[in-house]
């Protein structure tokens, strides 16, 4: 109960912060509504043309982020996480809330490219991947407060943020898209006022207590959407044997810059890439201290997982 109250408190704080975070000053002129959002046409992964305001926002509860399929930085992690949030929210997605991922690389991201991308992450119904004209997409992301001045130069620098909004009430809140999925799902349930409804699964199973170790925290927030330690392959390989079978220097570099190693033609990176064709291991911009903490956690958890297996 205390934990529940604590998380409600956090949601309230975040909601309050959202008003302050509105950089474009929309709140001053009243709520974000028809006059505020551009009604530009966008195309879904199925090739349907929709209007941003009329079809996607009007009267709806929504979760919106920016992605692009060639991204080798944080977008694959964001997408993997949102897919977990979608699973946690169950059939509310597509009924009580709609997910939208808008490509900031619209020229390259055709509807077909977006459809293939969505399939790789096992995205369910109620989640649209959208492309459109470059200037329209730019306007939409600016109005959502999701664009940054560097987007045009380095898309990889775009902020892994998530806008959660209720168009009907005019309430919007900005979140880090790399939060723990259970936290995000619980926060959304609070924000949209579903706590009393039937599928508050996130409260039936309380939100996990934040882990204490740095390596554990980093692993849970940055890696666990794609990897398990001893529970089988996810979007990426099970890492239970990684610290035992790979050389430490290789692992250290691979976790920090897999994209570089692939580009340089590292044989192991190439072999892994060929085997796990669908999703790519992202470069999450971790520093060497963070990588060390993650590998120490991985080593310890792997040992524990393997001991369990041997005991059985």
Residues near ligand HEC (CB under 6 A) are: 76-77, 80, 222-223, 225-227, 235-237, 239, 242, 246, 251, 254-255, 258, 272-273, 276, 279-282, 284, 294
In whole angstroms, the minimum distance from the beta carbon of 271 to ligand HEC comes to 9
Which C-beta is closer to ligand HEC: that of 11 or that of 239?
239
Residues 59 and 168: beta-carbon distance below 8 Å = yes
Nearest to 130 by CA among 145, 144, 140: 140
Which C-beta is closer to ligand HEC: that of 129 or that of 254?
254
In whole angstroms, the minimum distance from the beta carbon of 307 to ligand HEC comes to 20
Tokens of 259: 């994209």
In whole angstroms, the minimum distance from the beta carbon of 208 to ligand HEC comes to 18
Residues 91 and 199: beta-carbon distance below 8 Å = yes
Which C-beta is closer to ligand HEC: that of 79 or that of 166?
79
Which C-beta is closer to ligand HEC: that of 84 or that of 166?
84
In whole angstroms, the minimum distance from the beta carbon of 228 to ligand HEC comes to 11
Q: Report the 10 Å Cβ neighbour count for 207.
A: 19
Nearest to 162 by CA among 77, 284, 286, 223: 77
Q: Which residues contact 309 (CB under 8 A, 6 or more apart)?
A: 230
Phi, psi of 195 (to 5 degrees): -55, -35
In whole angstroms, the minimum distance from the beta carbon of 295 to ligand HEC comes to 7
Angstrom distances, CA of residue 31 to CA of 17, 27, 151, 223, 308: 15, 6, 26, 37, 55
In whole angstroms, the minimum distance from the beta carbon of 61 to ligand HEC comes to 26
Residues 132 and 40: beta-carbon distance below 8 Å = yes
Nearest to 167 by CA among 25, 24, 10, 26: 26
Which C-beta is closer to ligand HEC: that of 57 or that of 75?
75
Which C-beta is closer to ligand HEC: that of 43 or that of 225?
225
Q: Report the 10 Å Cβ neighbour count for 153.
A: 9
Which C-beta is closer to ligand HEC: that of 141 or that of 221?
221
Q: How far apart, in whole angstroms, are the C-alpha atoms of residue 102 and residue 185? A: 20
Place of tokens 């792997």: 302
In whole angstroms, the minimum distance from the beta carbon of 251 to ligand HEC comes to 5
């Amino acid at each position: 109960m205390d934990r529940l109250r604590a998380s409600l408190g956090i949601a309230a704080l975040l909601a309050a912060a959202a008003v302050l975070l509105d950089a474009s000053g929309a709140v001053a002129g009243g709520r974000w509504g028809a006059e505020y959002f551009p009604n530009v046409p966008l195309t879904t992964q199925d090739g349907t043309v929709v209007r941003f305001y009329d079809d996607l926002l009007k009267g709806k509860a929504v979760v919106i982020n920016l992605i692009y399929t060639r991204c080798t930085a944080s977008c694959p992690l964001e997408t993997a996480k949102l897919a977990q949030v979608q699973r946690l929210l169950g059939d509310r997605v597509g009924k009580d809330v709609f997910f939208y991922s808008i490509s900031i690389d619209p020229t390259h991201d055709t509807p077909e490219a977006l459809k293939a991308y969505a399939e790789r992450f096992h995205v369910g119904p109620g989640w649209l991947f959208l492309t459109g004209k470059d200037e329209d997409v730019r306007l939409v992301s600016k109005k959502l407060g999701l664009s940054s001045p560097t987007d045009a130069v380095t898309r990889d620098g775009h902020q892994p943020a998530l806008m959660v909004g209720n168009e009907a009430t005019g309430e919007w809140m900005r979140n880090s898209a790399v939060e723990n999925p259970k936290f995000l799902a619980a926060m959304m349930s609070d924000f949209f006022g579903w706590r009393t409804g039937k599928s508050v699964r996130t409260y039936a199973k309380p939100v996990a207590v934040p882990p204490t170790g740095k390596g554990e925290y980093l692993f849970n927030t940055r890696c666990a959407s794609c990897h398990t330690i001893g529970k089988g392959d996810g979007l990426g390989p099970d890492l239970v044997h990684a610290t035992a079978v790979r050389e430490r220097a290789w692992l250290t570099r691979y976790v920090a810059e897999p994209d570089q190693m692939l580009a340089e033609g590292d044989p192991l990176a190439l072999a892994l890439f060929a085997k796990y064709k669908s999703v790519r291991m992202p470069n999450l911009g971790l520093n060497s201290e963070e990588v060390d903490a993650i590998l120490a956690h991985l080593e310890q958890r792997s040992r524990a997982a393997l001991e369990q297996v041997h005991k059985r």
